[in-house]
Amino acid sequence: MTRRRIRVPSPHRTRTALAAGSTLALALAGLAATTTSASAASTDLVLNEVYGGGGNAGAAYTNDFVELANHGSAPASLDGLSLQYGSASGNLGGGSAPGSGSLKVDLQGSVAPGHTFLVRLAPGSGTGQDLPRPDQSSTAINLSGTAGKVALVRGTTVLSCGAACATDPAVVDFLGYGGANDFEGHPAAATTNATSSARSGAADARDTDDNAADFTTGTPTPVNAAGETGGGTGPGPEPEQASIPAVQGPGHRSPFDGKRVVTTGVVTAKKFDGYWLQDATGDGDDTTSDGVYVYAGASGAKPEVGTTVTVTATVSEFRPSSRTGPNLALTELTDATFTGAAQQEKMPAPVLIGPGGRVERRQRRRLG
């Protein structure tokens, strides 16, 4: 696959207004001060490519992704930065107030000069080829395939701004595409399940703070930090052994989000696109669930109810793309295979659900 070269642009962030002064010397001093403070963390990190059609009908790849690039001459740290997403008319992070919402990924690591950094995001139903081995993975963000807003943010607090995010001082770089209500300059063109928004590869490529000028729509070309392109290059990391309670974790989000795991449980119920798996004994902790849903798709293999299986899968935080508010995600297993299918002699005890769907506290840990 032919890949556009990353060019070194001039510094791209001059967001804050210049301070007025009573003399030319004061004005120049103000100019110098605001230029250095506008994006002191990393003026060279940019959003390089955004793809939101992953796994949808006609998709090029199975997962959404965001590719970052370092246009500087020194390594750029990602620690303390985050990716935040908002629908075309929604707030960044999906929240209704600053700090609320969960449509974000806290970044880790660094980007070498002249290199890219691939963040794999939520999968769809499996259509398309695998991405190159990602440098970081999270299912917290499910991008729109046609229109939305993506921000590289200095800090990990959700901004929760709507139509005035692009000029927020915390924003390092911003892309509004399709019918987004916020953007730099003018919005980039709408995408499809088969196309992405990618930064221009012209020889004098610059970040002009105009999304329409800086991004073009075309065939997705994901590249990871090692320079790998195409689908599924390399074997990837070995899956981790984890019990279902460990996968669920004590918090709302799984500590294994985006990672491959191997876990064992009893199949307690099936539906058309998956099945519920429960730890046979549980861990006795009310803060962790003993059950989890395994998404297999309508045509995927599903073991019989009452069998014990060992599942290898990716931990995901599922949120329907049609919901744009501050709703919570559900932990589930995706891209799953199973082995074993041995009949269980005794099923886990059923959970008694009271009037109005209420569940006794001691039983809540059993539910996925």
Other CB atoms within 10 A of residue 340 CB: 11
Q: Identify the domain boundary among 188, 218, 248.
A: 218
Quick check: is 209 in a domain? yes
Tokens of 280: 């046979």
Quick check: is 301 in a domain? yes
Q: Are residues 181 and 278 part of one domain?
A: no
Alpha-carbon distances, residue 221 vs 142, 199, 201, 228 (angstroms): 19, 11, 12, 10
CA-nearest of 14, 164, 132 to 67 is 132
Quick check: is 228 in a domain? no
Which backbone phi and psi does 116 adopt, to 5 degrees? -115, 170
Which backbone phi and psi does 340 adopt, to 5 degrees? 105, -85
pLDDT tens digit at each of 368 positions of the chain: 444 445 444 334 333 333 333 333 433 333 333 323 233 333 689 999 999 999 888 899 999 999 999 988 899 999 999 999 999 999 988 877 776 677 889 898 889 998 999 999 988 877 788 898 888 888 889 999 999 999 999 998 888 888 889 899 999 999 999 999 999 999 999 999 999 999 986 434 578 899 999 999 999 999 998 888 866 544 456 789 999 999 999 988 888 887 889 999 999 999 988 999 999 888 889 889 999 999 887 777 899 999 999 999 888 877 654 454 556 778 999 878 888 866 765 677 776 665 655 544 444 444 45
Cα torsion 354, 357, 360, 363: sign: positive
Q: Are residues 326 and 251 part of one domain?
A: yes
Torsion of CA 336, 341, 347, 349, to 10 degrees: -10
Give the pairing of strands 240-241 and 260-271. parallel
3-state SS class at 336:
strand
Q: Which segments of 221-273 are extended strands (E)?
A: 240-241, 260-271
Tokens of 127: 């259509």
- Domain span holding position 339: 240-364
Do residues 82 and 156 lie in contact, with contact meaning Cβ atoms separated by under 8 Å? yes
CATH of the domain at 246: 2.40.50
pLDDT for the residue 192: 94
Q: Are residues 246 and 346 part of one domain?
A: yes
Q: Which residues neighbour 271 within 8 Å (Cβ) at sequence distance 6 or greater?
A: none
Beta bridge partners of 147: none
> What's the one-letter identity of residue 143?
L
Tokens of 310: 């060992």
Q: Are residues 347 and 201 part of one domain?
A: no
Do residues 242 and 254 lie in contact, with contact meaning Cβ atoms separated by under 8 Å? no
Quick check: is 233 in a domain? no
Q: For 154-190, give the DSSP string.
A: ESSS----SSS-TT-TTEEEEEEETT-S--SSSPBPP
Alpha-carbon distances, residue 345 vs 60, 243, 301, 306 (angstroms): 44, 20, 22, 8
Do residues 183 and 174 lie in contact, with contact meaning Cβ atoms separated by under 8 Å? yes
Tokens of 114: 């002249």
Quick check: is 302 in a domain? yes
Could you tell me where the DSSP H helices lie in 164-263?
211-214, 244-248
Quick check: is 286 in a domain? yes
d(CA 164, CA 202): 29
Cα torsion 131, 135, 137, 141: sign: negative
Q: Identify the domain boundary among 154, 184, 218.
A: 218
Beta bridge partners of 124: none
CATH of the domain at 59: 2.60.40.1260
Q: Identify the domain boundary among 184, 218, 252.
A: 218
d(CA 255, CA 341): 27
Q: Are residues 254 and 208 part of one domain?
A: no
Give the pairing of strands 330-343 and 291-295. parallel
Backbone conformation region of residue 80, classed left if phi is above 0, alpha if psi is from -120 to 50, else beta: left
User: Could you give the number of structural domains in the chain?
Assistant: 2
